[in-house]
C-alpha cells in the first residue's frame, strides 16, 4: 500500500482499533508519524494506541507519536485526521463512536468510510454482565430497578475488582475485513439509533 493511499487511517476494534499500514514504499516512514487518539489520556483507547505506537516505532525505526485530541464524542480528533494530508503520516485510532456518530449527529465534517483508509481491526473488548445467583434479578430490567433502589451497587470492592480483571481480545484483520466491519457496524447501529430516536444536534 502506497503511503499516499493510506491517507487518513484508522486503527480500530471494539475500541475500534484499526489502521496501521505496511507500506510498499521503501522509505516509509522517513519521518515521525502521528497516531491520533480522539479520547482522553489514560483510557483503554489511549493505552492501546500507545502500545501499538511503541511497537511500530521499534519495528519501523521511526517515531510513532500518540496525540490525544478528545471531545465531541471523538469527532474533534477524527475530523482533524480527516482534514490532514493523505500521506500516511497521520493515523487514527477509532472506537465505537466511529460507526455510531454518523447516525447520531445531524452533520459530520467527515464520513466514517469515505474519508479514511481502513488498515486493520486490532482489538475487541468483550463486555459481559454476570450476577451471583443470590442477586434478586433475573434480567437487565430487574437489575436496573434493583440498582436504583440501592444506590452505590458499583462502589462495592468485589464489583470493582471484577471489573478491573476484565481484559481485551487481540484481533488483527486485513484492511478489507476492517472496512467490512466498519460498514456493518454503521448499519447495525443505524437500526438501533433510529429505533431509539436518539439524536445529537
Domains: count for the chain? 2
State how far the Cα of 150 lies from the Cα of 132, in Å rounded to an integer. Answer: 16
| Confidence at residue 173, expressed as pLDDT on a 0 to 100 scale | 72
Residue 184 within any structural domain of the chain: yes
Model confidence at 88, in pLDDT bands (50, 70, 90)? confident
Are 161 and 173 in the same domain?
no
Residues 149 and 172 in one domain: no
- pLDDT value at position 28? 83
Torsion on CA atoms 180, 182, 188, 190, rounded to nearest 10: -130
119 and 69, same domain (yes or no)? yes
Residue 201 within any structural domain of the chain: no
Please give the pLDDT value at position 32: 95
91 and 39 within one domain? yes
pTM listed for this prediction: 0.62
Cell numbers standing for residue 156: 462495592
Residue 107 maps to a domain: yes
Q: Please give the grid coordinates belonging to residue 138.
A: 433475573
**Which pLDDT score is estimated for 151?**
62
Task: With a cut of 60, say whether residue 1 has pLDDT above it.
Answer: no
Residue 160's domain spans which residues?
A: 129-165
Residue 47, φ and ψ in degrees, nearest 5: -65, -45
pLDDT at 64: 94
Phi and psi of 186, rounded to 5°?
-60, -45
* 105 shares its domain with 180: yes
Task: Determine the Cα–Cα distance for residues 18 and 132; give it in Å rounded to an integer.
Answer: 36
Q: pLDDT tens across 105-144, in order? A: 989 999 998 888 888 877 777 667 788 888 888 887 888 7
In a domain, 113, yes or no: yes
Band of the pLDDT at 3, cuts 50, 70, 90? very low
pLDDT in tens, 34-81: 999 999 999 888 988 898 899 889 988 999 999 999 999 999 999 999
User: Are 15 and 84 in the same domain?
Assistant: yes
> pLDDT digit string (tens) for 142-199?
887 887 787 656 455 664 555 456 565 555 677 788 888 888 888 888 888 888 887 7
Residue 146 lies in a domain: yes
Amino acid at each position: 500500500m502506497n503511503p499516499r493511499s493510506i491517507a487518513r487511517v484508522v486503527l480500530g476494534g471494539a475500541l475500534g482499533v484499526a489502521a496501521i499500514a505496511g507500506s510498499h514504499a521503501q522509505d516509509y516512514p522517513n519521518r515521525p508519524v502521528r497516531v491520533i487518539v480522539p479520547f482522553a489520556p489514560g483510557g483503554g483507547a489511549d493505552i492501546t494506541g500507545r502500545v501499538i505506537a511503541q511497537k511500530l516505532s521499534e519495528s519501523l525505526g521511526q517515531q510513532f507519536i500518540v496525540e490525544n485530541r478528545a471531545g465531541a464524542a471523538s469527532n474533534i480528533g477524527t475530523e482533524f485526521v480527516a482534514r490532514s494530508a493523505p500521506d500516511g503520516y497521520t493515523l487514527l485510532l477509532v472506537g465505537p463512536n466511529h460507526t455510531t456518530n454518523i447516525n447520531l449527529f445531524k452533520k459530520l465534517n467527515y464520513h466514517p468510510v469515505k474519508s479514511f483508509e481502513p488498515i486493520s481491526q486490532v482489538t475487541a473488548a468483550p463486555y459481559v454482565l454476570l450476577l451471583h445467583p443470590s442477586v434478586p434479578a433475573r434480567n437487565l430490567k430487574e437489575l436496573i430497578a434493583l440498582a436504583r433502589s440501592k444506590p452505590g451497587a458499583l462502589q462495592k470492592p468485589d464489583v470493582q475488582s471484577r471489573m478491573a480483571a476484565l481484559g481485551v481480545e487481540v484481533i488483527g484483520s486485513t484492511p478489507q475485513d476492517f472496512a467490512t466491519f466498519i460498514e456493518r457496524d454503521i448499519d447495525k447501529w443505524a437500526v438501533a439509533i433510529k429505533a431509539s430516536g436518539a439524536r445529537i444536534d
